[in-house]
Structure 1
Amino acid sequence: MSLQELTLYEILKVEKNATFLEIQSGYKKMLLKFKPQLAKTDDEKTLFAEKNIQIQDAFKVLGDENRRHIYDEQGKQAALAFDGLKQKLDKKISQLQVNLSIKQCYTSTLNNFELVTKQVCSSCDGHGHSHSDVCPYCEGKGKWTENVEVLPNQMKPIDKYCDFCNGKGVETIKKCKKCNGTGLEDKKNKINLEIQSTVFSKMIQFQEDDEQKITNVTFRCTEAFVNANQQKFEVLDGKVTTQIEVILEEAIKGFEKELVLPTSEVVMVKVDKLDLIGQKVVIPGKGIAGGDLIVIIVVKLAESDASRVKQ
């Protein structure tokens, strides 16, 4: 099998389902095996140089979760060209979905709402790995000595900066603890938001690191709310609904009942016609942000009432 036919997993001598630690271990072993200083002939120098390029490319892809996924799906070139972390963050508009309780939706305004966005990890600069391990090329010295022929049959040792670690003596192969290898960390922003309906999108502009950011936030009221009177409010087809139980006598004669909203406001539900039994009563303006509240009337029958209905 030629060098060009090897997969990145084969270059590092690891399985396709290898963990990050296994990939890191394979990477180190292959670097040491093809260390430039070990090359003795010109052919070996050429081979070792080619091998080192392949090993570095293999780890650049397989050592990054995003690039590794792209490699498995689209191949090496697509993975090497991918700079997704910064490309995604460079987009002018990011997307965010926020789930709110019905009580939060009823408040109309969320003061000091904590909007969490993503930014390039400040610890690893978006690479997902931190500089920590000793470079196996130069063994932490930042340079290595090469014998160069300066005159015929006359060799001279010359110090060269290590190309792999750029003379720093360390290599970038340890997963960053701050971002857990993702290259991204949370950025928290305190802003005030006005709620407009049970499901809607709102474009929010805010300043972050001297740069204007725009986030499209979609709000959804998803959690039911139960008040002190055990009155339950839910969202049904985008509208706030609740339910009232009445006995048969109340349903026949008509009734008025107090209903306590999540805002603690008290409204009256009035039914005075028999044909409203089992139907929905609409209370305008008492839903979220001026919308309608749907009250479902449920008739509760006692045993005596049930037998009377059958007769």
Structure 2
Amino acid sequence: MSKRDFYEILEVSKSASAEEIKKAYRKKAIKYHPDKNQGDKAAEEKFKEAAEAYEILSNAEKRQRYDQFGHAGVGGASGGGFGGAGMSMDDIFSHFGDIFGGGGGGFGGFSGFGGFGGGSSRGGRRVNKGSNLRVKVKLNLSEIANGAEKKIKVKKYVECSSCSGSGAENNSSYSNCSTCHGSGQVTRISNTILGQMQTASTCPTCGGEGKIITNKCAPCAGEGVIRDEEVISLNIPAGVEEGMQLSVSGKGNAARRGGINGDLLVLIEEEKHPELIRDGNNLIYNLNVSVPDAILGKAVEIPTVEGRVKVKIDPGTQPGKVLRLRGKGLPEVNGYGRGDLLVHIQVFIPKNINKDERKVVEKLQTAESFDPSNGDGEGFFSRMRNMFE
């Protein structure tokens, strides 16, 4: 099933400002908040859908890629696809909870996330976020035309298997922080001329995590991550082009102590084809034909991304003529339509000829049917004469 347009989901125009997008997301999130719609799976999906749209449109770089390439530029889902789909409630709160106001105030004035993360269940506890990784992937024209599955080996931080990413020995050697009592925040009340003001800040003792490790995991030294390699499968859509950047959600560096993984950003590099030239979604092939073949016509083989095919050169073909093979180019990245293969005819005129060949050409030069004034190849033999003199 195709994805809905992100602007349509948030009910904003494509020219909407960052503030308008933020307000629209807040309105949708409050409307479909799980605490207001308990047990309503449809509302929960709309809640996640709005979060995904906001994730893309609130980020200037991702929004630009989405405007240019649609869902293929940022989209896809889990299992090696691209984009920000598949977000959990924890992901949503850790990414966007701050726009509703942090601390014990909950989510938009409701009772909290009810176990999904944030609000009264987790308060202002900080959730670690792994850093993004960037890799380059080279594709040939055939892979671009048909899409490709690539497996790459990436050196990165991965979750420690000994402690399942918690950083604690046996995954249980930790206790609530005595300073913030597990909330991850400390609250201070100060007196001002306007009365008492309450402020919340990250707990300095636990760094906002809400817990203290009493016995650190030895392999990861309590960090919850170790340096290792991972083989990642990339499903690259057809029609991508040089310089395009795709995003694999959650395949970047693992986060410390069970946080949210970063993303893997994939930069597309295009290998040059030995014979075909890319022009957008069209392909160009420069076909050299001899003078006799241009005059008499001939069937010749030319390359395409799907193999070689035969085309017919009609008798009397003029230099500069373009043959169009419809649908033999590259597909649109969003899957709508396909470019053409344009065959540019170039008539090859030799610079050096022997005496016998010169006599043949001189006879042609005097033939009435080869007179440019008769409309058969304007200036053709004038150019030939200049070449041979």
- The interval holding the TM-score normalised by the smaller chain is 0.3 to 0.5
TM-score, length-scaled by structure 1: 0.39
**Structure with the larger strand share:** 1
